[in-house]
């Protein structure tokens, strides 16, 4: 596992340098900039351990999280735990953890949501994770970032900005979405794109990343860029709010406005398996 990570990072950096060189061949003074690792979690540790509390905090609750999600996000290692093989596993289960209440009544599902808010944030660079995703209707895992002035769904958002590095809907098994949300362009009006992997993203690990500069965000899958957005892509008169520090989130929602709710064919438990999260400047 560790050798695959090193190889993947080397290849990703090499690809970035090659692409930069290709786009600057007419400007002799320009040179590709090397990436510098500024933050990393490779999720090493004994099986069953909670993720590193110096890097991550569990969000807890079942209020729907602004999206009518059905799960209750639990603390500790109940739904977010290391597997002892260098991975973080976020598990969604059909259960009501400790008789918890959700926005619709007694909770029917549990899952996990982690954030680096208050522990790490950064403006610009590459935000990258290697993951294996769940499958089935109602499964909605995501790797995303939020402006560090976010305080709550009704306090700071969407003015703070949101960059969804990876969103995935379990009954669209080959498709990954990348989206910007800001004032006047959020939820279904978010600005971004998608790509088709050609095979189910639940079948193996894939690398999801954004390369973010002051006036550009580029999304990639396995080192291949699939969409770039700049201020000119926003609706007329709308503000580009992506020029300050953002923190990261990993979560696995069950149900909600994007994925729809599980149906009779949905199977639980399901897992979102994260090999690593790396941030570069």
Is 167 a residue of the active site?
Answer: yes
| pLDDT at 30 (0 to 100) | 35
The answer, yes or no, to whether residue 243 has pLDDT greater than 50, is yes
Residue 94 lies in a domain: yes
Residue 150, phi then psi, degrees to nearest 5 = -70, 135
Residue from 69, 95, 128, 167 carrying the catalytic annotation: 167
The bridge status of strand 109-111 relative to strand 71-73 is: parallel
Contact 158, 189 (CB under 8 A): no
Is 172 a residue of the active site?
Answer: no
| pLDDT at 206 (0 to 100) | 98
Residue 11 lies in a domain: no
Place of tokens 């690593």: 276
| pLDDT at 128 (0 to 100) | 98
CATH number of the domain bearing residue 168: 2.60.120.200
Residue 22 lies in a domain: no
Residue 26 lies in a domain: no
| pLDDT at 153 (0 to 100) | 62
Residue from 69, 95, 128, 162 carrying the catalytic annotation: 162
Number of domains in the chain: 1
Residue 30 lies in a domain: no
| pLDDT at 151 (0 to 100) | 79
Residue 21 lies in a domain: no
Total-model pTM: 0.87
Provide the domain limits for residue 153.
35-280
pLDDT per position as a tens digit, 33-69 = 689 999 999 999 999 999 999 999 999 999 999 999 9
* CA 163 to each of CA 27, 29, 210, 248: distance values in angstroms, whole numbers, following the listed order: 30, 32, 9, 9
Residue 7 lies in a domain: no
Percent of the chain with pLDDT over 70: 87
Q: DSSP secondary structure string, 186-244? A: -GGG-EEEEEE-SS-TTSS-EEEEEEEETTEEEEEETTEEEEEE-GGGSPTT-----SS
- Sign, Cα dihedral of 47, 53, 57, 58: positive
pLDDT, the chain, mean: 89
Residue 93 lies in a domain: yes
Percent of the chain with pLDDT over 90: 84
């Amino acid at each position: 596992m560790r050798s695959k990570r090193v190889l993947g990072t080397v290849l990703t950096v090499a690809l970035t340098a090659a692409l930069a060189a290709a786009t600057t061949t007419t400007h002799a003074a320009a040179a590709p900039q090397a990436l510098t690792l500024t933050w990393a979690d490779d999720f090493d540790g004994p099986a069953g351990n909670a993720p590193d509390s110096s890097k991550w905090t569990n969000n807890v609750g079942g209020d729907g999280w602004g999206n009518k999600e059905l799960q209750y996000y639990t603390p500790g290692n109940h739904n977010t735990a290391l597997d002892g093989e260098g991975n973080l596993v976020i598990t969604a289960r059909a259960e009501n953890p400790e008789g918890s209440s959700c926005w619709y009544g007694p909770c029917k599902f549990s899952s996990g949501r982690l954030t680096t808010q208050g522990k790490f944030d950064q403006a610009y660079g590459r935000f990258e994770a290697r993951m294996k995703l769940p499958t089935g209707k109602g499964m909605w895992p995501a790797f995303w970032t939020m402006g560090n002035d976010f305080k709550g769904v009704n306090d700071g958002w969407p003015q703070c900005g949101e960059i969804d590095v990876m969103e995935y809907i379990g009954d669209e098994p080959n498709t990954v979405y990348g989206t910007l949300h800001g004032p006047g362009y959020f939820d279904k009006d978010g600005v971004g794109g998608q790509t088709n992997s050609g095979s189910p993203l639940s079948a193996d690990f894939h690398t999801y990343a954004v390369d973010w500069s002051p006036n550009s965000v580029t999304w990639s899958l396995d080192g291949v860029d699939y969409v770039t957005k700049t201020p000119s892509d926003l609706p007329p008169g709308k503000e580009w709010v992506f020029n300050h520090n953002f923190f990261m989130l990993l979560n696995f929602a069950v149900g909600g406005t994007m994925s729809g709710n599980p149906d009779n064919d949905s199977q639980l438990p399901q897992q979102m398996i994260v090999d690593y999260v790396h941030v570069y400047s």
